[in-house]
A and B are shown apart, each in its own frame.
Chain A
């Protein structure tokens, strides 16, 4: 039997590592409650606040969309950024490293598996949210909407891969960092309100988190009338910026992964457990 090529190993690794995430979702049905009902409760709180102050109905749509996108941010933080910590604790990380594959392929597999699994959750939240709160959307441009959505995911999971690489060296601190990033990003990325409300400069700063631009662009494409007065920048600019972020984060993730793996091997921290 001939030896597999590097590409063959790479793509088989991606599929292999994506598999547990996709299959795991079907086998652990508790997500139906935890990842659908609980986010909807949070969404409900904001919906009722907006209704109480008699905000336009589109604001309910902003919140439902933001609520659905929280699933991705949580997935990136807890199942990408700090994932290598868990893999280290279970002993999987050392098996990944001694295999003739690349850690980049492992990360990509985790990302693809995470995206697929989380999309099911996000769709569930958005469908239920739209039905329960009777949100009306008017899609302006379907290809653009799909493009924004896919580029947002690409850039977001690219960021997750970068975090994961940077956190390779760390143990429990990776978890603390994830904790630290969770709530502030809900705020600065405008998960429950148009990000423009923070002011242009603050929104510009928050745009380093791809979900900021993604949410704004998707809101513009789903609720064009209301977003005309709240939009951050033009959708085409946001699309371009998301493309740049995607490429940038993936490139940085690859460089960081290589550097951190080398550093961890030198410092002997690659497989130390219980840090």
Chain B
């Protein structure tokens, strides 16, 4: 593997064996990753987008040596993750969203110090870095607070500091801003961007549920679904795939069964819908604008009332919907697809 690459996978696969119910006995196989090929150069902030169960966490677990692949190979910092996991660990660190690591009776700085010891960092260096990083994320005034007194946001800031403290060459961020408020997420995104931007030898692999986060942060993004990489490119290039189509967002009074209404309309490449405050928000990717009038007629026929209509540029979310068939938004929404839609 070229040393220019921070990570590489070749036909990487992972199959889980799950026991069948008693009546049938035996085992069934669940393919979490299916022959994934990826190359991530050093210095890149790489995003991995996919719905729940797409294989993102499985991929991260393999690359961080927590899980063995069942097929193919993977290298991190030029080291085979299956053959030499211990060596891989010298180069990496990881921060996950909703992490509750550490010990509640210890203070923020004590917990952070403890984790630095697992990397063999001497006390003085550890304390200096802890001070600096707590200052950067705005947690310096909580250094002496026991962590069971911290709010979710503060705790996640501490987790961030833990991940960066060891100054890893490669950092895995698994939905790091999950459940955080806008301000905290903003602070942490700025921190990530700054960290990679200022250091050419650092690489970040980020998974996120938030499209704007991937769009704002990532140099390149891979869309993963059912264990396959569907596309891998810069956010800009991915959006260009949709330039031929037009994207509309319609807000209407609540309508029943949107799938049945729009699925077979001509010119509708993809649509998704979500219920927001009693309204139905519909996102369409259309072949051209001529496909819009039949949609409006269908809404009228189902006694829906148009509240707003917006034509917009394609976003990464639209790219995602066009490839996966549904959005990443949690809960509430679903999506439909017309025959022959791009996959």
Contact = CB atoms under 8 A, between A and B. Distances in A.
B7 interface: no
Interface in A145-188: none
A101 B119 CA distance: 7
Interface in A1-32: 1, 3-5, 8-9, 12-13, 15-17, 19-20, 23-24, 27-28
Interface string A73-111: 000000000000000001110111111110000100000
B114 A99 contact: no
Contacts of B120: 3-5, 8-9, 12-13, 100-101
B164 to A, nearest CB: 14
Contacts of B100: 90-91
B67 A268 contact: yes
A9 B116 CA distance: 10
Interface residues of B, number: 37
B118 A97 contact: no
Nearest to A10: B120
A259 B78 CA distance: 25
Interface string A234-275: 000000000000000000000000000010011010110000
A20 B65 contact: no
B161 interface: no
Contact of B118 (A5, A101, A265): A101
A23 B122 CA distance: 20
A257 to B, nearest CB: 13
Nearest to B118: A99
Contacts of B125: 1
B61 interface: yes
A16 B65 contact: no
B66 A265 contact: yes
Contacts of B65: 97-98, 265
Given A265-B65, A268-B67, A270-B66, A95 B117 contact: no
A262 B106 CA distance: 31
Interface in B1-20: 14, 16
The winner among A16, A23, A97 for most chain B CB atoms within 10 A is A16
Contact of A99 (B89, B99, B105): B89
A27 B115 contact: no
Contacts of A94: 64, 66, 94
Given A91-B99, A99-B89, A13 B66 contact: no
Contacts of A266: 68
Contact of B105 (A3, A23, A91): A23
A199 to B, nearest CB: 44
B10 to A, nearest CB: 19
B94 A98 contact: yes
Contact of A271 (B66, B117, B122): B66
Interface of A, secondary structure class, is helix
Contacts of A8: 120
Interface string B116-145: 111111100100000000000000000000
Interface residues of A, number: 35
A98 B92 contact: yes
Contacts of B99: 91
Interface string B99-111: 1111101100010
A16 B165 CA distance: 15
Contacts of A270: 66-67
A271 to B, nearest CB: 5
Contacts of B203: none
A101 B114 CA distance: 12
A96 B89 CA distance: 10
B207 interface: no
Nearest to B61: A271
Contacts of A16: 113-118
A266 B115 CA distance: 26
Contacts of B94: 94-95, 98
The winner among A3, A5, A90 for most chain B CB atoms within 10 A is A90
A151 B8 CA distance: 49
B156 interface: no
Nearest to A13: B118
Contacts of A19: 106, 110, 114
Nearest to B32: A268
A91 B101 contact: yes
A96 B64 CA distance: 12
A265 B88 CA distance: 15
A3 B120 CA distance: 8
Contacts of A90: 100-102
A266 B71 CA distance: 11
A91 B111 CA distance: 14
Nearest to A102: B86
B240 interface: no
A27 B118 contact: no
Contact of A3 (B90, B96, B110): B90
Contacts of A5: 120
A98 B93 contact: yes
Contacts of B16: 268
Given A20-B110, A98-B89, A271-B61, 6 more contacts: A24-B103, A98-B64, A98-B94, A100-B120, A265-B66, A265-B68
Interface of B: 14, 16, 61, 64-68, 85-86, 89-90, 92-94, 96, 99-103, 105-106, 110, 113-122, 125, 146, 162
8 contacts: A4-B120, A15-B117, A91-B101, A95-B162, A98-B89, A265-B67, A268-B14, A271-B61
